[in-house]
């Protein structure tokens, strides 16, 4: 992949020290009044450390597979939309999970991106400590960077454990974040079509 086309989500991070993390979790269990050597917990620190490594060192694979695209007609608009992308991440404020339903779209600018690559880009942004708003902006940035498209839109809707398990304990509450670029403006037909797909089934 050319250096100038490497999505932000695919950048390499420092290796995770699993031994150090496992030791910290043993200390945490002790601080919580648990016996880290009892049955059921003795392997937990190592398992959790391994999970952190898998989560943060996720490799999205190739995200730049482009195909030459010839428009079938000079009339009308062409739009690529992928919906139903599940992005699982951790809120950086409380280290609690969030699960997002993401819809991403762009208007091809001479080339189209393999559909699975859009999913890879979106899911890669979940593999770090995150904010929902940062996720949608990061996906839009990478999608525009790889495809060269000026017209990009991303919507994410999901539940946050930091709202359902603590604080207001608003189980079932859904948060929505969106970013639009180019012709995906609210008063453009392309934006209306995108919202119709992204927010299908949602009261507007």
pLDDT tens-place string over residues 35-71: 999 999 999 999 999 999 999 998 877 766 666 655 5
Tokens representing 157? 């809707």
Crossing angle of the two packed helices 132-147 and 115-124, in degrees rounded to 10: 140
Q: Which candidate, 152, 162, 101, 92, places its Cα nearest to that of 127? A: 92
Predicted TM-score (pTM) of the model is 0.84
Q: Does domain 18-56 have CATH number 1.10.286.10?
A: yes
* Number of alpha helices (DSSP H) and beta strands (DSSP E) in the chain: 6, 7
Domain locations in the chain?
A: 18-56, 64-198
Q: Where are the alpha helices (DSSP H) in the chain?
A: 18-31, 44-56, 115-124, 132-147, 161-164, 189-198
Report the mean per-residue pLDDT for the chain. 86
pLDDT tens-place string over residues 156-167: 999 989 888 877
Query: Domain 64-198: which topology?
Result: GTP Cyclohydrolase I, domain 2 (3.30.1130)
CA 82 to chain centre: 13
Q: Which residue has the tokens 């699960």?
A: 99
Name, in order, each residue with C-beta under 8 angstroms of 141's C-beta and a sequence gap of 6 or more.
Answer: 8
Confidence band for 34, pLDDT divided at 50, 70 and 90:
very high
């Amino acid at each position: 992949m050319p250096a100038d086309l490497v999505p932000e989500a695919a950048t390499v991070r420092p290796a995770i020290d699993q031994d150090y993390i496992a030791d910290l979790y043993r200390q945490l269990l002790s601080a919580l009044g648990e016996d880290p050597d009892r049955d059921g917990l003795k392997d937990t620190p190592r398992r959790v450390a391994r999970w952190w490594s898998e989560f943060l060192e996720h490799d999205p694979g190739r995200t730049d597979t482009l195909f030459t695209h010839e428009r079938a007609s000079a009339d009308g608009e062409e739009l690529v939309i992928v919906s139903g992308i599940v992005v699982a991440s951790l809120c950086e404020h409380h280290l609690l999970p969030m699960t997002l339903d993401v819809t991403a779209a762009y208007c091809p600018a001479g080339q189209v991106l393999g559909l699975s690559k859009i999913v890879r880009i979106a899911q890669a942004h979940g593999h770090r400590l995150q904010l929902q708003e940062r996720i949608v902006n990061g996906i839009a940035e990478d999608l525009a960077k790889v495809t060269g498209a000026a017209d990009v839109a991303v919507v994410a809707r999901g539940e946050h454990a930091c709202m359902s398990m603590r604080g207001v304990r608003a189980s079932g509450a859904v948060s929505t974040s969106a970013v639009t670029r180019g012709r995906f403006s609210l008063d453009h037909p392309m934006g209306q079509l995108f919202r119709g797909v992204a927010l299908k089934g949602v009261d507007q």
